[in-house]
């Protein structure tokens, strides 16, 4: 099995998010059929109800991403980590959508692992 590991969010200051923010890792992920994403947050303040969604689209020119429902993570503690996995991933391009929902501070790091069958 071939594997690609990348840190897609590095020390994101959650106090800078107003509403939502998006991060798109570079590259075409269509050749991968398994996606795992780990989010690690520390020092989160405010109302602990932020969401992190992994979204996908199939064409670079497309303007709308579809949310992969089983890859949503809820930031509901001051510090924590959660990994979400999706087998049979079908998207080519990835977007990580962070909705702050009254989070006023903290730091986020996210790591993506993509695997393909040989």
Looking at residue 118, its pLDDT comes to 61
Please report, for the chain, the start and end positions of each structural domain, with discontinuous segments joined by +. Answer: 2-116
The encoded tokens of residue 57 equal 């689209």
The whole-number pLDDT of residue 3 equals: 86
Does the pLDDT of residue 100 top 80, yes or no?
yes
Mean pLDDT of the chain: 91
43-88 pLDDT, tens per residue? 999 999 999 999 999 988 888 999 887 888 999 999 999 998 887 7
Residue 89: CB atoms within 10 A of its CB come to 22
Residue 11 confidence (pLDDT) above 90:
yes
pTM across the whole model: 0.89
Strands annotated E in 1-118: 2-13, 20-23, 34-46, 50-57, 66-67, 73-75, 80-87, 93-99, 103-116
CATH of domain 2-116: 2.60.120.200
Residues in the chain: 118
Closest CA to 96 of 62, 71, 63: 71
């Amino acid at each position: 099995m071939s594997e690609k590991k990348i840190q897609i969010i590095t020390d994101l200051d959650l106090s800078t998010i107003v509403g939502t923010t998006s991060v798109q890792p570079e590259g075409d992920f269509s050749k991968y059929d398994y996606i795992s994403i780990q989010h690690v947050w520390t020092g989160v303040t405010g109302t602990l109800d932020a969401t992190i969604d992994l979204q996908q689209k199939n064409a670079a020119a497309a303007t709308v991403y579809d949310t992969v429902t089983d890859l949503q993570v809820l930031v509901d503690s001051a510090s924590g980590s959660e990994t979400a996995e999706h087998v049979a991933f079908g998207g080519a391009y990835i977007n990580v959508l962070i909705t702050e929902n009254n989070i006023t501070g903290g730091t986020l790091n996210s790591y993506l692992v993509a695997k393909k069958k040989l």
